Structure 1
Amino acid sequence: MEKEVQKFSIKHPTVEDAQSITDLVSLCDIEEIGEPDITLSDVLDMWNSIQIETDAWIVLSTTNEIIGYGFVEITGANRMDTCVFVHPQYKNQGIGSVLLKKVEERAKVLAKGKDGGQKLMNQIPFTNTAARDLVENRGYRFSRLYERMKIELEGQPIQPLLPEGITLQSFQANYDENTLFSLYDETFRDAWGYTKKDSSTWISQKQGEGYDPSLWIIAWKDSKPVGFLMSRMQDDGLFIDLLGVKSDYRKHGIGKAMLLHIFGLAYQRKQKTILLFVDTDSLTNANRLYQNVGMFPHSQTAIYMKELTI
C-alpha cells in the first residue's frame, strides 16, 4: 500500500545526506531497470562539480525520509544538466513538479549574464513515461537517446592487437594534463552537446571520486597523441567515462585496443563488470565499437532539452 503524504518539505542537502540520496536513486533505478545504477562515489563525484548549498535539493516526508532529489549542473558555456528523482512510493503527489520548478528557477539565475542561448538538459529513464510527459508539458522536447552498455568478463580478455606504431600509456599526473585535454577537445568537438570548457576545471572535475591515473590511457603514434580513454573503478564495476580517437586515426583499431587494454586491467583487479553510456546517434558509431568487444545495451536514457528564457 502506498504511503499518503499530505505535506513535505524541501531544502538543500548536506554531505551527510549523500548515502540516503544514493539509496533513493537506487530505488528509482531498480524500479526502472531492475538494478541500481549509482554508488555513493557517483553522488560525491557529482558534488565535486556543483554547489549543493544552492544547486541541489532534497524533499523530506513528514518523518524526515528523503523522498525526492534534484540538482542542476553547469556542464558548458551554454549548457546545464539536471536529473530529478522521486521515491517510487511517493509518485503522483507533485514532488517531481516542485523539484523541476526549483531546478529551472536556479538555472535561470545561473544563466544570467552569459552570452548565447542557454540550454537545460533533463535526463530521464526512457521507460518512465510519466516523467517524460511531465517535462514535455513544461516545454522540454526530446533530443537524444543514450544506452547504458555492459559486459561481464567471463575470463581473461584477449590481448589488444595494436596497430603499427601505436603504444598505450597510462596518464602521468602533472605532465599529461594539457595533452589529455587537447585530445578530448579535438575528438569531442563535433559530438552532440559539446561545449567549450576550461582545461583546468575539466581536469579537476574528472579527478573526483574514484580517480586513478592508471585507468586513464593515452594512445600514441610514435610521439604524437592520437587517442585517449578515461575510466574509474566504482562499487558496481569499472565505468568508462570517455573514449576518443582523432579523426585521421579512426577505423584503425585504436579504440578497440584501448578498450581491450582497460578490460585487462579491470580483470587483473578482479573486476568483471564494465559499464558505459553511449549516444545511440553517435557520429562515430561508437555503439558498434562497444558491441564489437562484447558489450550489450542494458537500458536507455532519454535526453530532453529546454531553451532557457531569461
Structure 2
Amino acid sequence: MEEQITQTKTLTLQPVTEADYVEVVDLINAATRSFVGHNIVTLNEFATDLNTLDLNPAKDTCVVRVTDGEPLAYADFWAGAEPHVRMFGFVRIHPQHKGEGVGTAITGWLESRAAQELTTAPDGLRVTLGMRAYGVQSNAQAFLDSCGYKHVRSNYRMTIELDGSIPEPVFPAGIVLHTIQPDEADLRRALQAEQEAFLDHYGAIPEPFETYFQRRKNMLLHDETVDLSACFMALDGEQVAGADFNAISLADDQETGWVGSLSVRRPWRKQGLGLALLRNAFREMHQRGRKRVGLFVDAESLTGALGLYQLAGMHVQYETRYFEKELQPGKDIANIG
C-alpha cells in the first residue's frame, strides 16, 4: 500500500481486490454518468475483464481512498501490444472528489507503472503513455496538458435509432454472409481478417497473430454482452472479406446494441461491403428488440469509416479525446497515418 499526502487529506493507493469490485464499479459508472449520462460497465463485466485482459490486477490496478474510506478514484494500466511501446491508462475519479489532489495521485501511479515497463522497451523505439478524456472534460484536458500530454486524436461515439426503416443490406456480388460459430476455426478466420484490416487503423502495432487471437478470443468468449449468433463474416469463396463482432447490450442498457468491431480487408473495400455489414447489424439488433445501435469511430479514420457510418444514418453523440505523453523518443512503429 502506498500513501500520498495532499493539502487536504492522506490518500492510500492499493491494487483492486474482489472486495472492492462493487464500490469501484459504482465509482466508474458515477464518474462516466456525470459527463455522458450512461453507465459503461456492470459488476460481472468488470470482474471478467480483470481476469481475461492482458493485465495483472495486483500490479496493474489502483484504487485511491482516504484511509478506510470509500474509493475516490480507480485506474488500470495496460502495457499494450508487444513490444509494449504504446501503453494505456484508464482513469475514473468520483465526481464528488475532483480538485482534491486525487487526479495528481492516480496519474503519478500510472506514470510510475509505465516507467517500470519502460525498462524493458527496445532501444530506438518511441514509447508513449496514453489516456482518454471526454470532450466535455475541460478541466481534465487542461490537467493532462499541464502534465505533458498532448491531444493527438479524437473518437466519436455514434448512434442510430432503429425505427424499422433500415434499408436491406446489399452485398457485393459473390459475397456470402456467414454467422460466426463459437469454435476455434471460425474465430481464427474472423479474427485473422480483423487483425489484418485493423493494421490500417491509427495507432495499430503489428504483433504475432497468436497473441492477438488469444487476447481477442478471451474477450469475446467471456463478455456477457457478446452473442456470436449476432456476429458475422462476409465470405468470398473461402476467403474472409470482412467481419463484425456485435454486442446485444451495452453495460446495463438492454435497449442498445453495440458494433464492437467492423473490419473489411483491403481487396474488398470501396465496394459497399462495410455498409452492407453495418446495415445487417442494425437489422439484427432491431429483430432482437433493440431501440438503437452505437459504436466508436476514429474521427480521422484512415479507412474512411466515419463517412461510412454517416452514410448509414448514424450521428455523433459525443467525443472522446486521446492524450499521449512521450516516454522515450525514437522510431514510431505504430500506424500514425
| Equivalent runs, 1:102-181 vs 2, <5 Å | 102-115=109-122, 116-155=125-164, 157-172=166-181, 173-181=183-191
Q: Name the residue aligned to 1:35.
A: 38
**Which residue of the other structure, out of 210, 221, 226, is the alignment partner of 2:241?**
226
Q: Name the residue aligned to 1:75.
A: 80
Give the AA of the match of 1:290. Answer: Y
**Which residue of the other structure, out of 12, 15, 32, is the alignment partner of 1:9?**
12
The range that moved more, 140-149 or 124-133, is: 124-133
Q: Deviations over 1:81-133 (max 9, x none)?
A: 11211111111111011011111111221232232332211111121111112
Tell me, yes or no, if the aligned pair for 1:140 and 1:306 is still in contact at 8 Å: yes
Equivalents in 2 of 1:165, 1:18: separation in Å?
Answer: 49
Secondary structure at the aligned position of 2:184 is classed as coil
Tell me, yes or no, if the aligned pair for 1:108 and 1:309 is still in contact at 8 Å: no
Q: Name the residue aligned to 1:26.
A: 29
> 1:254: how far off?
0.9
The range that moved more, 213-222 or 111-120, is: 111-120
Aligned residue pairs: how many? Answer: 307
Equivalents in 1 of 2:297, 2:80: separation in Å?
Answer: 17
| Equivalent runs, 1:282-293 vs 2, <5 Å | 282-293=301-312
Tell me, yes or no, if the aligned pair for 1:70 and 1:85 is still in contact at 8 Å: yes
**Which residue of the other structure, out of 223, 236, 242, is the alignment partner of 2:261?**
242
Q: Name the residue aligned to 2:197.
A: 187
Task: Give the TM-score of the pair, scaled to structure 2.
Answer: 0.84
Give the AA of the match of 2:235. Answer: W
Give the AA of the match of 1:132. Answer: Q
User: Kindly tell me: are residues 298 and 99 of structure 1, through their superposed partners in 2, closer, same or farther at Cα, counting changes over 3 Å?
Assistant: same
Give the AA of the match of 2:222. Answer: G
**Which residue of the other structure, out of 241, 244, 253, is the alignment partner of 2:272?**
253
Q: Deviations over 1:8-46 (max 9, x none)?
A: 322111234333222212222222123334444543453
Secondary structure at the aligned position of 1:18 is classed as helix
After the TM superposition, list the runs of 4 or more consecutive aligned residues in structure 1 that deviate by more than 4 angstroms. Answer: none
Q: Deviations over 1:137-182 (max 9, x none)?
A: 2211111000011122122643312221111112122212332232
User: Kindly tell me: are residues 221 and 120 of structure 1, through their superposed partners in 2, closer, same or farther at Cα, counting changes over 3 Å?
Assistant: same
> 1:62: how far off?
5.0
User: Kindly tell me: are residues 41 and 298 of structure 1, through their superposed partners in 2, closer, same or farther at Cα, counting changes over 3 Å?
Assistant: farther
User: Kindly tell me: are residues 238 and 45 of structure 1, through their superposed partners in 2, closer, same or farther at Cα, counting changes over 3 Å?
Assistant: farther
Asked whether 1:212 is paired with 2:227, we answer yes
Q: Deviations over 1:195-229 (max 9, x none)?
A: 12323233223433223222321111122211111
Secondary structure at the aligned position of 1:282 is classed as coil
| Equivalent runs, 1:194-209 vs 2, <5 Å | 194-197=204-207, 198=211, 199-209=213-223
Task: Give the TM-score of the pair, scaled to structure 1.
Answer: 0.91
Q: Name the residue aligned to 1:295.
A: 314
Tell me, yes or no, if the aligned pair for 2:179 and 2:232 is still in contact at 8 Å: yes
Equivalents in 2 of 1:233, 1:42: separation in Å?
Answer: 14
Tell me, yes or no, if the aligned pair for 1:68 and 1:95 is still in contact at 8 Å: yes
Tell me, yes or no, if the aligned pair for 1:120 and 1:307 is still in contact at 8 Å: yes
Tell me, yes or no, if the aligned pair for 1:5 and 1:90 is still in contact at 8 Å: no
The range that moved more, 154-163 or 228-237, is: 154-163
Give the AA of the match of 1:113. Answer: T
Tell me, yes or no, if the aligned pair for 1:7 and 1:62 is still in contact at 8 Å: yes
